[in-house]
Structure formats: C-alpha cells, structure tokens
Structure 1
Amino acid sequence: MPLVAAGCAPTVDHRPIGPLAGSNPLITTAFTADPAPLVVGDTVYLYTSHDKAAGKVLFAMDDWLAFSSKDLRHWQSLGPVMHETDFAWATDTKSAWAAQAVEKDGKFYFYAPVKHKEPDRGFAIGVGVSDNPAGPFVDARGSALVTNSMTTAGRDYDEDIDPTVFIDSDGTPWLMWGHFTCYLARLKPNMVELDGPITTIKLPNYTEGPWLFKRGDLYYLAYASIDEVAQGAERIAYATAPAITGPWSYRGLITGKTRNSYTIHPGIIEFKGQWYFFYHDALLSIGDLKGATGRRAVAVEYLYFNPDGTIRPVEQTDAGISVPPRRSDAAARRP
C-alpha cells in the first residue's frame, strides 16, 4: 500500500473519463444518420437510418434503428425497428434512407423511403405501423403510399425520399417529401392513404430532407439546401408560413455544412420547455472504419428563437448539449 507523507493529501483527478453525456456524437455504437426525434410523454424516441458502408461503397442502409432517452443525454438502444424487406414490394438494395415516425390515436406510424420492385421502379414511400414507439413496425398497407409514377414534377427515380409527417393542431395529418422538388399531400385520418392531390412547394435551393414543425401560430419548414456558396455541400435552411399550405417565406440558414460529409439532415423538437436541433456529421470512427458520407453520426444542439420567431443560427459543436442551455436568454423560452 503506498504511503502518503504526513500533512499531505493524495491528489485526486476529478476530470471526467471519456466524453460527457450529451456531447457529440450522441450514438457511438453504430453509424447513424438522418435523425428523426419523436416526443412521447416524458421520453424521446430517436429514429435513424443505419450506415453500413465499407470500402468504396457510398451508402449501404438496409434497416432503421431506434433509441430512447428521458434526458437526451443518456440513450438506450432499441435495435432495428424495421428493415427495408419488411415491405414485400421493396427491393433488397440497401436503400433504407431517411424516415420519420409519428403518433396518432395511440398508434405509431413510420414513413420510410425504399426502392420499389418493377414495374414501378424508383424510390417509393411506405408506411409501417406499431402499437409501441419502440417497434417493431410492420407494413400498414401491403403496398406503397407514394410511388414514382405518382410524382412527375421533378426528377425521375429518386425524388420520392425523405418523408416528414406533421399533424396539425386541428388533427389533420400532412405528408411532405421530395428530392429537389418538395411535395405536399394531406393524409386521411387513417394515416395510410392520401386525402387529396399532391402539390409542390417552391423553396429557394430546396434539395431534400424536409422537417415540419409549429411554434405558436407559426409553421416552420427546415430543409437541406445546396446553393453556389455551399459548393455542392448541403446546409440547413428554413422557411415560415401562416398555414402549412403556405405561402412559405424563406428565412435563411439554421446551420452550415456539416463536418466530413456533404449531406446533413434536420430533426427539430421541443422537449421539457427547450428546443433541440438534431443533425448528423461524419466524425465518428468505429474500429477501423472512419467517418465518411456513408458512415455518419447523429448529433444535437440547443435551438434558440429570436423574439420575432426567427431561428438563431446553430453552431455545430463537440460539446452538444453536455453543457447547460442559456436559460437566461429570453429568446429561448416559449412564445
């Protein structure tokens, strides 16, 4: 046993070992991307795509993962909640891209893009359903909700991706999606059928990854944007509107391009009185695999609003939400 000199106290190192809870990346056990947070009571469920790319493969994603937390700092893995082949009409091509879940009348609906088998080639949007936010989800329709043949305003083959679902205060559900063209359609109350025509929303430099939310009486639409300044990398822009059907007014950028990847994807929630901005970067390494566009990692930052409802620019940090929010900032409070 080591001896301590009389009158001298042993030195104690109080520095934390390893990253603090809430620092970025949030999930370090798998490569995750395209975060879609969902608040259910006192718990947040985080749904992500699952990057498995290796070698020269750019994207390899065949399932969706879920995690849960009661404080956004400590996360429990729930494992895969759905696989692309759970949609019998989908191809097995590792194309399980950005998805989102929503709650309606005690059930949970999972909207996901996958590639459709012939003859309706190209990406399509399916709907999974579960009685539990932790899944597993099963195909709610037995067929795609949106197919390539239903959308002809923009690109062929890969335009029906990145669905976001928003249930308005009057109970009306809406579906928005699209790659370079932003599509909007109302859903029927059963959540598995369209209820009216598919329309398009015009937004400056819209690329993909829409995310709808509401704060007070104002509707917000965040989305991935590519412009000349970004030089091929996505940034997160946003627009606001008095109604979900518009007119939408462009408000600027929420955050710039992410680190080590040209893609970025928003997920925005309010939880216990504080707003949060989820996204992904590509700084995580697991074993011999280093972060890359096809091996990304989910991250989170606090989100603050100005008194006029505009969003303050978000700085992407390593600390994330391991540090306290700016509680003294009146702009961070509810409207």
Structure 2
Amino acid sequence: MKKFLAISLFSFGLMANASEQLPIIQTKYNADPAPMVHNDTIFLYTSHDEDDAHGYGFKMQDWLLYSSTDMVNWTEHGAVASLKDFSWVNKDNGAWAIQVVERNGKFYMYCPIHGNGIGVLVADSPYGPFKDPIGKPLVWQKEHWDDIDPTVMIDDDGQAYMYWGNPNLYYVRLNDDMISYSGDIHKFDSAPEHYQEGPWLYKRGDLYYLAFASTCCPEGIGYAMSNRPTGPWESKGYIMRPTERTRGNHPGIADYKGKTYVFGHSYDILRLETPDHHERRSVNAAEMEYNADGTIKEVPYWKDIELKQIEPFNPFRKVEAETMAWGFGLKTRPCGARNMIVTNIDNGEYICLRGVDFGKKGAKKFLASVASTKNGSRIKVRIDSKDGAVIGILPVDSTGSDDSYSLLSCKLEKVKGVHDLYFTFEGDGDDLFNFDYWELK
C-alpha cells in the first residue's frame, strides 16, 4: 500500500511539473555518482544502497553502471563489480564511492572498501568484467579510517593523480600502469574550506578543480581551484549550497556533448516512500556553467531546475526495457549473462521515455519481449503523458514461466515527430510479467 500511495502522489503532483527535476534513477537506490565519457556515451558508475538499509547505517555491497546518450533516458547495466572481486576483503559491507578512468584502452576502477583501504580493478571494457590486478590494497593507512572516496585525474603531461580522504585530504602520483604509485602519500595540512569527503579532481583549460561534499549536515557541494594539480587549493564557495532538503551529497563532474554536468545524490526518491530517514539515496544531475574567470556558477538544488534532453531518443532499434527516464515502483534484476530485465511490474505502474523521435513516417508496430505466468495483462502504448492518447495495446498472457520469454507485437496508430513515450501496465494485481526489451517498427 505504501508504494501505491507514493506512486499516486507522484502521478498527480510532481509529474505535472516538468521543471521539477527528481533523481534520474528510480528502480534502485544509488549514490556517489562517478560519470565517465567514452566515445558517444556517458557512463555513470554509482555505489548501491540496498533497499533494506535501515536508519543511519549504510548497506553497500556492489557498484552499478548506467549509460545514456541524451542525459534523461538511462539504461541500467546492473552490478559491474562488488566486494567479492577482492580476494583480500573479508566483509560484505563497505562498497563506498568509486571512480572509473580510461587509459590506453583499459578501464580502471578505484574502489574504497571502508576500513580496508582503497583497491583497484581493471577491465577491457567500460561494462567490465573488472578484475583485481594486484591482489592487495593500492592504499591502506591502517592507523585510521580516512581512506575513502578516491578520485583520479590524468593530466595533459600523462601524470596521473589520485586524491581521497575523510576528514583529511591526501594524494599520490600514480605510475603509468595506474595500479601503483611512486613517492610518498601526501597529506594536506589543511583541506579547503568546508571540505568533508568525496573529492572530485579535474582540469579545465589551465585550471585545476577540486569539488567535494561540504561539511555535514546539511551537506552541499563545495569546490576549490588551483594552478597546479597538487595545490595549494583556494576555496571558491559552493557549486550547490547546503539545503535542509538533503543531509548528504557527493559530486561527479563531466563534460558531455558541449555541456558540463554535475552529478550528486539526494533522498528525494526515499521521500516519496516515507518521511523516515534511511541511508537510501538516489543520483541527481544538473547542467553546470562557468563564469568568464573560470569560477563556477552556483547550481540551485536539484528539484529547482530542469535537466534538459540533449538529443531525441531513437526507438527504431532493440531497446532494453530498463532504459527509462522514469519508472518509480518498478525494479530490475539480472537475467542471464550481462542482461537485465524490468520486474515487479504492478497494475497502474508505467515506464516513461523522454523525447522519443517517431520520425516523419511514424511507427506501425510495437514489439515487446515479455515473460509471464498470468493471463489478461496489457501494455498500453501512450504518448505525452501517462494518461495520454493510446496508440497501441499489447495483450500479455501467460508464456509458461517468468523466465520463458515471447516476442509479442501489436499495431500502432500513426504518430509523427517527437513525443514522450509511456508504457502503462494493466492487469490483475501485482507482478504481472517481466519485461526484457522492446522495439518500434
């Protein structure tokens, strides 16, 4: 009942205000966003707050991956690494904030294991699989628990740096192999003003930036600037000012298709479900701009701005069902090797994709791969809103089992141009069917 109450509140209130930007992922709780651009795609690595995390205790066991080409429709790729990938880690909690960087065709994931230092994994693809190349921590100062939240930047001269730390700030110079370092661990005598944790190091032009989670609580995103990758750092204020609407934040910043985006996290999805506090966070994103002198224009709180779509979405291809702009109430899970499905589909829930381009001729057919043990369910294909015009109805009957998928199809009424696309789900009660992928033809 609680989930349906939240969906009802959202459907009749927040969705009506398109400029009120809620978290970009709703099917899982995630935090500590780490964007990475590779080729034409923005990859978003996150930590993962489990659904049963209770109160002020974190429950974090693996790291997730999402991707997008338009900033509003995101595809989930599931867990790409976990604590189990480190043979030297003997714990099932503590998978905190990571960052992934690419060098010479390899993808390096820097992973804090709370209380056990910082490890590193490597893969040949941004999707993984990620493996531990050294079999031990890259950094572990056993005299304290400061070693969390690594960030890595490769400078123009090829020298790579890793920063990290809470409440103190540290850095090392990484070697070319990206899995070892030379010299000592450097500790700053004093961190930038308001610094708490979650540093994000990057370069723009000749200037170096260090964004970070500011002193809690409430917690915003502060930043500092320098003419050198190793400081000294001059505090410049806030990218996002602290607000009572959230008690935590964590920055990730990336340039993508001519714009700069700042990512963080909030408790805004949790607030749709309960007023009680639990460490179940959700990732947000916003466009970020610079002043002429290189300083950053302050970004309003996530819900006070609109994240605009970069380019229309192409539906004339196989689209994974876990690609969406909105899907609150739904869940995702693995199904086979490197495949995800949408599950926990209940009567009245829906998927929304923003800015779908039907082209000049429109689509004639909707195809969907589904699996069900129930008869009498339906997917209604709508445009422009969850209650918008129905352009097609796909009946979904039993396929024999929840893992026996059938490719079903229905005719579509002709629609041209760009519209938001909704799949609304109807049937008897909860767990109507599982949804693998879809396509328009």
TM-score normalised to structure 1 length: 0.81
Aligned positions of 1:139-218 closer than 5 A: 139-149=132-142, 156=144, 158-201=145-188, 202=190, 203-218=192-207
Listed as ranges, the matches of 1:1-335 within 5 Å are 23-52=21-50, 53-56=52-55, 58-115=57-114, 122-149=115-142, 156=144, 158-201=145-188, 202=190, 203-226=192-215, 232-257=217-242, 260-285=245-270, 292-318=277-303, 320-323=305-308
- Tell me, in whole angstroms, the C-alpha distance in 1 between the residues paired with 2:261 and 2:248: 19
Counterpart in the other structure of 1:332: none
Give the whole-Å Cα distance in 1 for the aligned partners of 2:286 and 2:244: 14
Q: Which amino acid is the alignment partner of residue 312 of structure 1?
A: K
Structure 1 residue matching 2:176: 3-state secondary structure? coil
Cα gap change, 1:260 to 1:181, in 2 (>3 Å): same
In the alignment, the residues of structure 2 paired with residue 214 and residue 61 of structure 1 have an alpha-carbon distance, to the nearest angstrom, of 30
Give CA deviations for 1:43-72 in whole Å, capped at 9, x if unaligned.
Answer: 000000000143446210000000011111
3-state SS of 2:84 partner: helix
- Report the identity percentage: 41
Following superposition, the deviation at residue 41 of structure 1 comes to 1.4
Letter in 2 for 1:49: S
Does the CA contact (< 8 Å) of 1:261 and 1:293 recur in 2? no
1:119 is aligned to: none
Counterpart residue identity of residue 305, structure 1? Y
AA aligned opposite 1:162: D
Distance in 2 between residues matched to 1:168 and 1:278, nearest whole Å:
22
Q: What root-mean-square deviation, in Å, do the aligned CA atoms of Structure 1 and Structure 2 show?
A: 2.4
In structure 1, C-alpha distance between the alignment counterparts of 2:146 and 2:230, rounded to whole Å: 20
Q: What are the ranges of 5 or more consecutive residues in structure 1 without an aligned counterpart?
A: 1-15, 116-121, 326-335
Amino acid at match of 2:261: Y
2:124 maps to a residue whose letter is D
SS at match of 1:284: helix
Instruction: Tell me if the contact between 1:260 and 1:292 (Cα under 8 Å) persists in the aligned partners.
Output: no
Q: How far off is 1:320 after superposition?
A: 4.8
One-letter amino acid of the structure 1 residue matched with residue 69 of structure 2: K
**Which AA in structure 2 matches 1:68?**
S
Measured in 2, the distance between the counterparts of 1:189 and 1:278 equals 28
Contact residue 152 and residue 162 of structure 2 kept, 8 A: yes
**Residue identity in the other structure for 1:181:** N
User: Is the Cα contact below 8 Å between 1:91 and 1:114 reproduced in 2?
Assistant: no
Identify the residue that residue 5 of structure 1 maps to in structure 2: none
Gaps of 5+ in 2: 1-13, 311-441
Structure 1, residues 57-98: CA drift from partner, whole Å, max 9, x if none? 621000000001111111110100101121111132311000
| In structure 2, distance between residues paired with 1:65 and 1:279 | 15
Please identify, of 202-211 and 287-296, the stretch whose mean Cα deviation from structure 2 is larger.
Answer: 287-296
More strand by percentage: 2
Q: Which has the larger radius of gyration?
A: 2
Secondary structure, in 3 states, of the residue corresponding to 2:113?
strand
C-alpha distance in 2 between matches for 1:299 and 1:314: 12
Amino acid at match of 2:299: V
What residue identity is the alignment partner of 2:148? I
* Contact residue 24 and residue 285 of structure 2 kept, 8 A: yes
The one-letter amino acid of 1:168's match is D
CA distance in 1, matches of 2:176, 2:292: 35
Cα distance, 1:133–1:19 mapped onto 2, change above 3 Å:
farther
Distance 1:81 1:320 in 2: 31
1:261 deviates by 3.8
1:284-306: CA deviations, max 9, x gaps? 04996678451000001110111
Maintained 8 Å contact 1:100/1:112: yes
Which is worse superposed, 31-40 or 201-210?
201-210
| Structure 2 residue identity aligned to 1:58 | G
